[in-house]
Amino acid sequence: MKTALIVLLLLVVFSSPLTSALSNPIPVPTLIFEREDITIGIQKVSEEELIVEVVGVYYFKNVNFTEVRMYFPLPPEALKGEIKVYLDGRAIAWKLSEKTYDTLLGNFPMIYWKISNIPKEFTVKVKYRYSIFKHKDGYRILYAMATGRFLNNTYGKQCIAEVKFNITGAPNSWIARVAFVPPPSEAFRAKYESEMEIPATLLNYVILRKASRPFKGLDRDLMIIIFPSGERWVRYAPKKGEIELTLNTFNNGTLEAVVRFVFRHSGFKVDVVKGLVEGTNVILELSVWEWTGPALQVITVKTIRKRFHKLKPGRYNFLLRINERNYMSQEFEIKGSSLDLTRLSLILATSLIAIFIALYIVRKRYMKR
């Protein structure tokens, strides 16, 4: 009997014997998985609560498997709600697994089910419904789509996920931010790969399609943040009078860039996106955000310090970028270490003495002849 353990949402096979390969080449046995259709329903219950309903349909072709175990990650809140699994329209039983799935919102539990006597083609449908409550930055919904990073014995030239939305009861002032986000182990400052921000009611007209890399599963989760009453973080373009740049250099090849912001109220935040050295250009990229909701009306100072190490002696150009725009440019120089000069002088003096002694010995031997 050929069996497999699989994680759904780009289904993932945890273990299974790999016996042979066709000339295509397609590993045998295998499950061919190239498409998933997702519908995410979001219903406003109150100013503090939303009901989320997710329906996922996954299409498979089977080559020589007779039994599989499928794992499916879902939000912890879903365990308190309603979860249903269907195989070709027929309800099947599921169980809670001890395995977990890591996301930017924490570890998600996994459920699993077994399928026996698998046909050549079959469809799995998963439906779950749960309530979420507002956080300080809005309502946060994550659909676990990055399970392709566990992919083993499934096959597909490319997997495509299509996501649709069904929003009901949302006021026109609500804003939705939709992003594809990496797992925590790969997340950097921005914590998203691509992002879209629109009025929440317009999500009903949006269809998202995400394609995996060739012969790979999907490796990004889908994050949705709903901001009630239009209160959200928006990009802010600082004025020149709000920024002060100081460059400190050290003889060990280190540059410290100090960027000081003076904002008119407390509702601002600054993140480091990246810092890099390209030839003689040193680049620091920041993102600056302003909160559109209430904030303390006090002058607020925020300071960013970033160090660049192992710079060779010479002249450089420092470039400060904010929200993908060039803001400031300043030249600076990295000088050689005084310690290195001292060592060089000692080495040179020692070498000269050695040469003098060698010449003296040679001359003395020559005189004896």
Is there a domain that residue 123 lies in?
Answer: yes
Q: pLDDT tens digits for 133-188?
A: 888 778 999 999 877 666 555 556 678 889 999 999 888 888 898 988 888 877 65
Other Cβ atoms less than 10 A from the Cβ of 359: the count is: 10
Is there a domain that residue 369 lies in?
Answer: no
Q: Which uninterrupted H or E stretch holds 364?
A: helix 338-368
Which DSSP string do the residues of 21-59 spell out, in sequence order?
E-SS--EESEEEEEEEEEEEEEEE-SSSEEEEEEEEEEE
Owner of token pair 């999907």: 218
Q: Are residues 80 and 179 in the same domain?
A: yes
Q: Are residues 41 and 107 in the same domain?
A: yes
Q: Tokens standing for 286?
A: 């920041």
Cα angle vertex 55, ends 13, 174, to 5°? 120
How far is residue 147 from each of residues 72, 154, 155, measured CA to CA in Å? Answer: 9, 12, 14
29-38, 68-77, 120-129 — which is least confidently predicted? Answer: 29-38
Q: pLDDT tens digits for 266-313?
A: 999 999 999 999 999 999 999 999 988 778 899 999 999 999 999 999
Q: Tokens standing for 118?
A: 């698998």
Q: Alpha-carbon distance 271 to 288, whole Å?
A: 7
Predicted pLDDT of residue 14: 36
Predicted pLDDT of residue 19: 33
Of 236, 260, 235, residue with least CA distance to 246: 260
Is there a domain that residue 42 lies in?
Answer: yes
Q: How confident is the model at residue 50 (pLDDT cuts 50, 70, 90)?
A: very high
- Sequence-ordered strand ranges (E) for 90-219: 90-92, 95-103, 106-116, 121-133, 139-143, 154-155, 160-168, 175-181, 194-199, 207-211
Asked whether the predicted pLDDT for residue 359 surpasses 80, the reply is no
Number of domains in the chain: 2
Q: Are residues 53 and 196 in the same domain?
A: yes
Predicted pLDDT of residue 288: 95
Q: pLDDT tens digits for 63-114?
A: 888 888 889 999 999 999 899 999 999 999 999 999 999 998 999 999 999 9
CATH code: domain of residue 67? 2.60.40
- What's the whole-model pTM score? 0.62
Asked whether the predicted pLDDT for residue 22 surpasses 50, the reply is no
Asked whether the predicted pLDDT for residue 132 surpasses 80, the reply is yes
The percent of residues in the chain predicted with pLDDT above 70, rounded, is: 82
Q: Are residues 35 and 120 in the same domain?
A: yes
Is there a domain that residue 358 lies in?
Answer: no
Other Cβ atoms less than 10 A from the Cβ of 315: the count is: 9
Q: Are residues 135 and 66 in the same domain?
A: yes
Q: Tokens standing for 191?
A: 């914590």
Is there a domain that residue 362 lies in?
Answer: no
Q: pLDDT tens digits for 208-228?
A: 998 888 777 788 899 999 988
19-33, 85-99, 200-214, 327-341 — which is least confidently predicted? Answer: 19-33
Predicted pLDDT of residue 95: 95
Of 71, 170, 155, residue with least CA distance to 111: 71
Range of the domain at 110: 3-230
Q: Please state the φ and ψ torsions of residue 6, each to the nearest 5 degrees.
A: -130, 145
Average pLDDT, the chain: 83
Is there a domain that residue 302 lies in?
Answer: yes
Q: Which uninterrupted H or E stretch holds 258?
A: strand 254-263
Q: Are residues 120 and 147 in the same domain?
A: yes
Q: Are residues 189 and 242 in the same domain?
A: no
Q: Alpha-carbon distance 120 to 339, whole Å?
A: 73
Q: Are residues 9 and 48 in the same domain?
A: yes
Is there a domain that residue 194 lies in?
Answer: yes
| Cβ atoms of 64 and 41 closer than 8 Å | no
